[in-house]
Amino acid sequence: MKYWQDKVVVVTGGSSGLGLVLSQSFVAAGCQVILAARGPEQGSQAVKTIETGKARFVATDVTDSASVNQLVENVIQHEGRIDVWVNNAGRSSRGLAQETSVEEFEELLQLNFLALARCSQAAIPQLIKSRGHLVNIGSLSSKTASPYMGGYAASKFPVAAYSQQLRLEHSSSSLHVLLVAPGPIRRQDSTPRYQDQARDLPETAGKPGGGVKLKGICPQRLADKILRACQRRKPELVVPGYARFLFALAQLCPGWGDWIVRKMTGSRGAKQAHNAD
């Protein structure tokens, strides 16, 4: 695609999952992509799946300011500019909210939100110069909470607020800010990821999205939608789109919103679930 030809893209958490698919999609569109993640071995393997010469890996800890600043300096030194920065690094969790430790909340906030803010602050000056795109990968949990997700929703809600504030503050500048709020994304690895955390919770809690009754999103289709949303400089991308109606309803009538979430997740409430076990 002509629009993307030779643009420089940084993807945090770019060595696996949606981050890797996004990296591959940007390269296919003609971009030079920098995959930023912690693990050098996984990062090197990820680069091998992408067209030679169009992607490289930079070991980065997004929870460390010095590491993030070094990443920005590395990209400017080698590529001379940054056109797109994708804040994709993050993780989910499982557990009852009242039983999630403060330390776990802190850990999730550090990775899912504070790291995103740290990276954004480092990248925005470069993105303004290039009239570029800041893409913040949130979740449906950035808009509405679900039961049994531990500290995940609390760490993702700030992503939506931060993205909106950036849009408002940069409405007259050349910076485009996109919030992406997807439901559960299909993974090639079908091995359960949260079974240990969800051992004492309802069976659905260990499933993708905490058991939300939504079809898994194809990561390639989501990546294509993200690229199109950037080209159109859209403020938000919610997938599936009809989830926006739930968000609107929840704002108008929280009780109805809660009822719909319980129906969509098969949740009966923590007290009822424990009594049934």
Which residues are known catalytic residues? 152
Count CB-CB contacts under 10 A for residue 35. 29
DSSP the chain: -GGGTT-EEEEETTTSHHHHHHHHHHHHTT-EEEEEES-HHHHHHHHHTS-TTSEEEEE--TT-HHHHHHHHHHHHHHHS--SEEEE-------B-GGGS-HHHHHHHHIIIIIHHHHHHHHHHHHHHHTT-EEEEE--GGGTS--TTBTTHHHHHHHHHHHHHHHHHHTTTSS-EEEEEEE-PBP-S--S-SSTTTTTTS-GGGGSGGGG-S-PPBPHHHHHHHHHHHHHTT-SEEEESTTHHHHHHHHHH-HHHHHHHHHHHHT---HHHHHHH-
